[in-house]
Amino acid sequence: MALSFAQKEIIVAEVAEVAKGAHSAVGAEYRGLTVEQMTRLRVEARKAGVYVRVVKNTLARRALQDTDFACMSEGLTGPLVLAFSREDPGSAARVMEAFAKDHNKVEVRLVALGGKLLDPSELGNLAKMPTRDQAISLLMAVMKAPVQKLAATINEVPGKLVRTIAAIRDAKEAA
């Protein structure tokens, strides 16, 4: 079914709005997937805070034109599903990587992060990036470590004194 000009404008505006607020994007060829499998992909993506959309390539080029993902324009050929990470940079990569493991017909062709087009082999590295909560947790652990070590070192002085006195007491009791 052909789209009217107004419908095309709405699609372009929607994808452009999502792309402007997204951290990263992944484009994958989905040729050979069933409707049920695509629905499963959309459900998993929604759970992870990832916007997934199948858009005609010409409309996608227009939508990505003034965004950080304009670098993807040349690679928009063939049937592609676009996934945009809205919450953290690695979420779209995690969803697409997990889905591609289960479905060998999915081929990741485009990966973009921060206005740069990455090689599709970088998908695994992008997927390993921590979420916001994990990054905060790692930062807190790094900030807490010196204080914790200082407290343990300061606590060691009286502890050593107590152990020395206990050893002297045990030596006098034994004699």
Locate tokens 């050593």: which residue? 160
Strands 24-29, 107-113: pairing is: antiparallel
Q: What is the pLDDT of residue 1?
A: 61
Q: What is the pLDDT of residue 46?
A: 92
pLDDT tier at 75, thresholds 50, 70, 90: confident
Q: Residue 118 belongs to what H/E stretch?
A: strand 116-118
Contact 112, 69 (CB under 8 A): yes
Output the CA angle 153-155-156, nearest 5 degrees: 65
The pTM assigned to this predicted structure is: 0.74
pLDDT > 90? residue 160: no
Strands 116-118, 80-85: pairing is: unpaired
pLDDT > 90? residue 159: no
Q: What is the pLDDT of residue 147?
A: 85
Query: For residues 124-155, b (16+ Cβ closer than 10 Å) or e, as one string?
Result: eebbebebeeeeeeeeeeeeeeeeeeeeeeee
In DSSP notation, 145-169 reads HHHHHHHHHHHHHHHHHHHHHHHHH
The average pLDDT across 94-115 equals 88
Between CA 159 and CA 173 the distance in angstroms is 21
User: If you ran DSSP here, which 8-state letter would residue 86 be given?
Assistant: S
Q: What is the pLDDT of residue 39?
A: 92
pLDDT > 90? residue 84: yes
The average pLDDT across 152-164 equals 86
Q: What is the pLDDT of residue 3?
A: 77
Q: What is the pLDDT of residue 134?
A: 84
Beta bridge partner(s), residue 54: 81
pLDDT > 90? residue 43: yes
